[in-house]
């Protein structure tokens, strides 16, 4: 067994979760940081790794936190919480499934010492302690999207109108939930923004929707589904003017803060209506594409801390990039600046 294979075997024994913090990808990235630290600090290799892993204690863990925060500009306590969770699980696997035993992670007393030292180090480093919801994984995003499309592409207008008085699994409520959820999945907007969008903010001819003063083209599939929604809306809200909310409940009233019904599709997939986790996945895609930080905030209405938290997760993805790819990226960006030709 090699040093790297200990990580691979550990990950192969885990199941993927719906959220980033319980995902295999998160554990992989956090352990890559830990392995990088061990390589830099202890020159770990396939010959000495067992001895080094058996000796990891609270001092080593706090030094690894300093390494992580310093090299990857970590700002949030939650990132370190996930890092320590990954390390704890890794050593738990080693203790239970290999001959590499580390009593610091097996003894309650010793483990408490480690956790106390972690808490002290996090405070010392002044990391942001605000609780931020974890983003969902790509697989979960696709799962939610499939649930939405199964509803939107299956429920005909006639079927919904024929069953409009149905109490359980009302097709109109489910259709509205699916269309609202897909809009969040596209734009990353906060829950409360849904109720600010007026009927006049959507132009079906141009397939444009205006959100927080930004005009956004809808994908063809969502645009087609929106047209079905508009027909449905005209039956359940005949007398509402164009300055009334675009998205309404099945009784024709505004959604307001009825997020439990508005995001029932999310609840059916995740077990809760934490659509913020869904929105943050979209925000991370925006950041990856280089979208301006302040414009993301204006569009989505998420706070600076929330966007920074997404930015931090994106930054940590670069752990897997080698120095040559990073160099090419920096070089290309500098060459694309206006001042490059002037100089």
Q: How many CB atoms lie within 10 A of CB 273?
A: 20
List % helix, strand, coil for the chain (3-state, nearest 5).
Answer: 65, 5, 30
Contact indicator for 316, 29 with CB cutoff of 8 Å: yes
The predicted structure's pLDDT at residue 239:
66
Domain termination site, one of 125, 158, 183: 125
Q: How many CB atoms lie within 10 A of CB 139?
A: 13
Across 48-52, 234-238, 245-249, least confident range: 234-238
On whether both 156 and 110 belong to a single domain, the answer is no
How far is C-alpha 190 from the chain's CA centre?
14
On whether both 90 and 146 belong to a single domain, the answer is no
Q: What is the DSSP letter of 214?
A: E
The predicted structure's pLDDT at residue 327:
67
Quick one: pLDDT band at residue 243, thresholds 50, 70, 90? confident
Examine the pLDDT at 322 and tell me if it is beyond 70. Answer: no
What does the mean pLDDT of the chain come to? 89
Mean pLDDT confidence for 74-103 = 92
Give the Cα separation of 68 and 259 in Å (integer): 37
Tally of domains within the chain: 2
Mean pLDDT confidence for 296-308 = 93
In this structure, is residue 337 part of a structural domain?
A: no
Mean pLDDT confidence for 100-122 = 88
Q: Residue 241 corresponds to which tokens in the numbers above?
A: 């003017």
Q: What is the β-pairing status of strands 214-217 and 208-211? A: antiparallel
Q: How many CB atoms lie within 10 A of CB 31?
A: 20
Q: Which domain holds residue 221?
A: 138-280
Across 31-40, 76-85, 113-122, 329-338, least confident range: 329-338
Examine the pLDDT at 238 and tell me if it is beyond 90. Answer: no
Give the Cα separation of 140 and 269 in Å (integer): 8
Please give the C-alpha separations between residue 249 and each of 99, 145, 150, 261, in angstroms, as whole numbers: 59, 21, 20, 8
In this structure, is residue 158 part of a structural domain?
A: yes
* Residue 167 burial by Cβ neighbours in a 10 Å radius (0-12, 13-18, 19+): exposed
Quick one: pLDDT band at residue 257, thresholds 50, 70, 90? confident
Domain termination site, one of 245, 263, 280: 280
Give the phi and the psi of residue 214 in degrees, each rounded to 5: -105, 130
Examine the pLDDT at 326 and tell me if it is beyond 70. Answer: no
Mean pLDDT confidence for 93-105 = 91
Among residues 162, 144, 189, the alpha carbon closest in space to that of 307 is found at 189
Quick one: pLDDT band at residue 313, thresholds 50, 70, 90? confident
pTM here is 0.82
On whether both 274 and 146 belong to a single domain, the answer is yes
Examine the pLDDT at 154 and tell me if it is beyond 60. Answer: yes
Give the phi and the psi of residue 190 in degrees, each rounded to 5: -70, 160
In this structure, is residue 319 part of a structural domain?
A: no
pLDDT tens digits for 155-187? 999 999 999 888 888 999 999 999 999 999 999
Domain termination site, one of 265, 280, 295: 280
Residue bearing the bigger pLDDT, 233 or 327:
233
Examine the pLDDT at 298 and tell me if it is beyond 90. Answer: yes
């Amino acid at each position: 067994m090699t040093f790297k294979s200990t990580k691979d075997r550990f990950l192969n024994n885990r199941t993927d979760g719906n959220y980033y913090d319980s995902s295999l990808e998160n554990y992989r990235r956090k352990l890559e940081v830990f392995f990088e630290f061990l390589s830099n600090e202890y020159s770990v290799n396939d010959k000495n790794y067992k001895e080094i892993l058996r000796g990891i204690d609270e001092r080593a863990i706090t030094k690894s936190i300093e390494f992580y925060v310093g090299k990857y500009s970590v700002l949030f306590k939650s990132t370190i919480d996930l890092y320590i969770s990954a390390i704890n699980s890794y050593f738990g696997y080693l203790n239970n499934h290999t001959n590499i035993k580390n009593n610091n992670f097996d003894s309650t007393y010793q483990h408490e010492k480690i956790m106390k030292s972690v808490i002290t180090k996090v405070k010392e480093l002044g990391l942001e302690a605000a609780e931020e919801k974890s983003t969902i994984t790509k697989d979960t995003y696709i799962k939610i999207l499939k649930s939405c499309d199964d509803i939107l592409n299956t429920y005909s207008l006639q079927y919904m109108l024929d069953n409009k008085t149905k109490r359980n699994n009302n097709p109109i409520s489910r259709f509205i939930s699916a269309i609202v959820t897909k809009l969040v999945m596209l734009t990353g907007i906060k829950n409360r923004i849904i109720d600010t969008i007026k009927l006049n903010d959507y132009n079906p001819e141009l397939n444009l929707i205006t959100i927080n003063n930004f005009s956004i083209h809808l994908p063809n599939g969502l645009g087609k589904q929106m047209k079905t929604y508009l027909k449905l809306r005209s039956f359940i809200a005949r007398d509402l003017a164009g300055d009334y909310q675009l998205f309404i409940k099945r009784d024709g009233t505004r959604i307001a803060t009825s997020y439990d019904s508005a995001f029932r599709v999310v609840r059916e997939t995740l077990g809760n209506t934490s659509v913020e986790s869904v929105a943050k996945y979209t925000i991370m895609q925006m950041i990856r594409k280089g979208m301006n930080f302040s414009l993301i905030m204006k569009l989505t209405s998420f706070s600076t801390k929330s966007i920074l938290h997404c930015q931090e997760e994106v930054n940590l993805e670069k752990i897997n990039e080698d120095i040559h790819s990073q160099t090419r990226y920096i070089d290309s960006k500098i060459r694309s600046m206006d001042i490059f030709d002037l100089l």
